[in-house]
C-alpha cells in the first residue's frame, strides 16, 4: 500500500486510451468514445472481485459513504452509529445528509465494538457503519445479527480494507452496502475515486441516479433524461476510472506483496512478549496494509512511536493524538463548527461530548501503533526494518 508505488505501463495504457478519444466524462458522447467506457469497465471488474451483484463508481470514498446512506433512505434526523476511531469522512458524510453521527467505542479489533453498538441504538437509529480501519474488520457476524434484530442497515466502510475478507466474503460485500475509496494513498488507486457495492438492486438504482444530479440514465439523449428525485454531482471521470481499471487487475498481486512484508515484520515482533497484536475476528482475513500492535501502556506507546521515528522507521502512526482519525482531535465536530448553520435536528441530536465516556476506546487506541506496509520495499529492506523495530522496542522495555 499504496498502489501508486507500482504505477507503470498498464496504467499509462488505460489513460492514453481515454485521451485518444478526448472524452473524459463518464456519461454521453457515445459516438466519440471508440468503445471506451472505463467507469463501466471498472464497475464490472469491481463487482466481480467483490462477489457483489452491483458496483457504482463515484468521485471519492466520502462520496461513496454519502451515496450509500442516501440510497438506503438515510436522511434528516436519522442516527448512524460510527466508531470513535475512523477518518473524519465518516461523520462528514452523515452530516451532509442532515443525519446524526453517533460515536461508539472500539475494542481490541480497533473497530466498532458490538456491545457498544447495542447500547447506542435508539428509536432514531437507521444504520450501523463499521469502519475497517488499517486493513482489518469488525466482528461483522455480531453486527449483522444486531442490525437484523433491530431492522437496521449495515454499511461497511471498507475504504482502507479492500482485499480483506470475512467468512470468505470480501470486505464491503458482507453488509447491505459497502463503500470503497480509491484516493491516492489507498491499496489500489484512481488518483481520486470511490465506489458503492451492494446486492440490492434498488440501492444500486438510487446510487446511480443520486450520484449524477438525479439523472435516470434512460435513453441515449442525456438532455432528455428524467430526474425522479434530487441528486448531486458525485461523478468519477473517465481518466480516474482508467487508472482504476489497471489497478484492480493488480489487486491480488498487491495483497500478496503486503502479506509477505507484513508477515516478516510480525514474526519479528512476535519475539517480544510485551507486544500484543490487534484482534482479527474469527473468520476474518486482513488485507495486510498495516501492522497494528499494542504496547503495555500509553506512555510506552508514545516513547516507542518517537523512538521508531528517530531510528528512521517511517510510516508508523500513533492515532491517539492524530488530528484526523481519533475523536479526541475532532473539535470541529465536538464544538459544532460549521460554515453554515447546522440543522436543528442535528444540533439537538448530537452527543454532548463534554459528558461522553469513551475510555474503553482510549485504553486500546492509546496503546496502539500502526505501521504502514509498503509495496516497494525490497526483501532486504523489510528484514532491516524488522531488526530496527525489534531493537528499538526492546531497548525501551
DSSP 321-348: G-TTTBGGG-HHHHTT--SSPPPHHHHH
Return the domain boundaries, the chain.
Answer: 3-250, 252-396
- At the topology level, CATH places domain 252-396 in 3.90.1150
Point out the catalytic residue in the list 38, 126, 186, 374: 186
188 preceded by cis ω (within 30°)?
no
Q: Which helix (H) or strand (E) holds 54?
A: strand 54-58
* Domain 3-250 fold: 3.40.640
Per-residue model confidence (pLDDT) at position 234: 98
pLDDT value, residue 1: 77
- Of the candidates 187, 155, 14, 128, the residue with the CA atom closest to the CA atom of residue 71: 155
Order of all β-strands in the sheet with 290-294: 276-277, 290-294, 368-372, 316-317
Tell me 164's DSSP state: -
**Cell output for 286:** 486482513
Tell me how many degrees the CA angle 150-345-215 measures, rounded to the nearest 5: 80
pLDDT of amino acid 356? 97
Concerning whether 186 is annotated as a catalytic residue, the answer is yes
The tens-digit pLDDT sequence of the chain (397 residues) is 788 999 999 999 999 999 999 999 999 999 999 999 999 999 999 999 999 999 999 999 999 999 999 999 999 999 999 999 999 999 999 999 999 999 999 999 999 999 999 999 999 999 999 999 999 999 999 999 999 999 999 999 999 999 999 999 999 999 999 999 999 999 999 999 999 999 999 999 999 999 999 999 999 899 999 999 999 999 999 999 999 999 999 999 999 999 999 999 999 999 999 999 999 999 999 999 999 999 999 999 999 999 999 999 999 999 999 999 999 999 999 999 999 999 999 999 999 999 999 999 999 999 999 999 999 999 999 999 999 999 999 999 9
pLDDT computed for residue 2 by the predictor: 85
pLDDT on residue 198: 98
CA distance 72 to 99: 13
Which H or E run contains 165?
strand 165-166
Cell 484526523 locates to: 324
Query: Do the two domains 3-250 and 252-396 of this chain adopt the same fold?
Result: no
Amino acid at each position: 500500500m499504496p498502489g501508486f508505488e507500482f504505477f507503470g505501463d498498464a496504467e499509462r495504457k488505460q489513460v492514453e486510451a481515454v485521451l485518444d478519444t478526448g472524452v473524459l466524462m463518464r456519461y454521453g458522447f457515445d459516438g466519440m468514445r471508440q468503445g471506451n467506457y472505463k467507469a463501466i469497465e471498472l464497475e464490472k471488474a469491481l463487482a466481480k472481485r467483490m462477489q457483489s451483484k452491483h458496483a457504482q463508481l463515484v468521485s471519492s470514498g466520502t462520496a461513496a459513504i454519502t451515496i450509500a446512506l442516501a440510497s438506503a433512505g438515510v436522511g434528516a434526523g436519522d442516527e448512524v452509529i460510527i466508531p470513535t476511531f475512523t477518518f473524519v469522512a465518516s461523520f462528514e458524510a452523515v452530516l451532509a445528509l442532515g443525519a446524526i453521527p453517533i460515536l461508539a467505542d472500539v475494542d481490541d479489533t480497533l473497530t466498532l465494538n458490538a456491545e457498544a453498538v447495542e447500547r447506542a441504538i435508539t428509536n432514531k437509529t437507521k444504520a450501523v457503519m463499521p469502519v475497517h480501519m488499517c486493513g482489518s474488520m469488525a466482528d461483522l457476524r455480531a453486527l449483522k445479527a444486531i442490525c437484523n434484530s433491530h431492522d437496521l442497515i449495515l454499511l461497511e466502510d471498507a475504504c482502507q480494507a479492500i482485499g480483506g475478507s470475512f467468512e470468505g466474503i470480501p470486505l464491503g460485500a458482507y453488509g447491505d452496502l459497502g463503500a470503497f475509496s480509491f484516493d491516492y494513498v489507498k491499496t489500489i488507486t484512481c488518483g481520486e475515486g470511490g465506489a458503492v457495492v451492494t446486492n440490492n438492486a434498488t440501492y444500486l438504482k438510487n446510487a446511480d441516479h443520486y450520484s449524477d444530479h438525479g439523472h435516470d440514465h434512460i435513453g441515449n439523449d442525456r438532455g432528455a433524461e428524467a430526474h425522479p428525485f434530487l441528486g448531486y454531482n458525485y461523478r468519477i471521470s473517465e481518466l480516474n476510472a482508467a487508472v482504476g481499471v489497471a489497478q484492480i487487475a493488480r489487486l491480488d498481486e498487491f495483497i500478496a506483496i503486503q502479506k509477505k512484508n507484513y508477515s516478516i515484520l510480525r514474526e519479528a515482533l512476535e519475539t517480544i512478549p510485551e507486544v500484543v497484536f490487534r484482534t482479527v475476528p474469527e473468520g476474518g482475513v486482513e488485507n495486510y496494509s498495516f501492522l497494528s500492535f499494542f504496547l503495555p501502556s500509553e506512555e510506552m506507546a508514545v516513547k516507542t512511536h518517537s523512538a521508531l521515528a528517530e531510528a528512521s522507521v517511517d510510516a508508523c502512526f500513533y492515532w491517539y493524538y492524530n488530528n484526523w482519525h481519533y475523536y479526541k482531535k475532532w473539535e470541529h465536530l465536538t464544538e459544532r463548527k460549521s460554515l453554515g448553520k447546522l440543522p436543528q435536528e442535528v444540533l439537538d441530536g448530537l452527543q454532548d461530548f463534554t459528558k461522553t465516556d469513551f475510555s474503553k476506546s482510549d485504553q486500546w487506541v492509546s496503546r496502539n501503533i500502526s505501521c504502514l506496509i509498503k509495496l516497494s520495499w525490497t526483501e532486504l529492506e523489510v528484514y532491516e526494518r524488522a531488526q530496527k523495530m525489534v531493537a528499538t522496542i526492546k531497548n525501551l522495555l
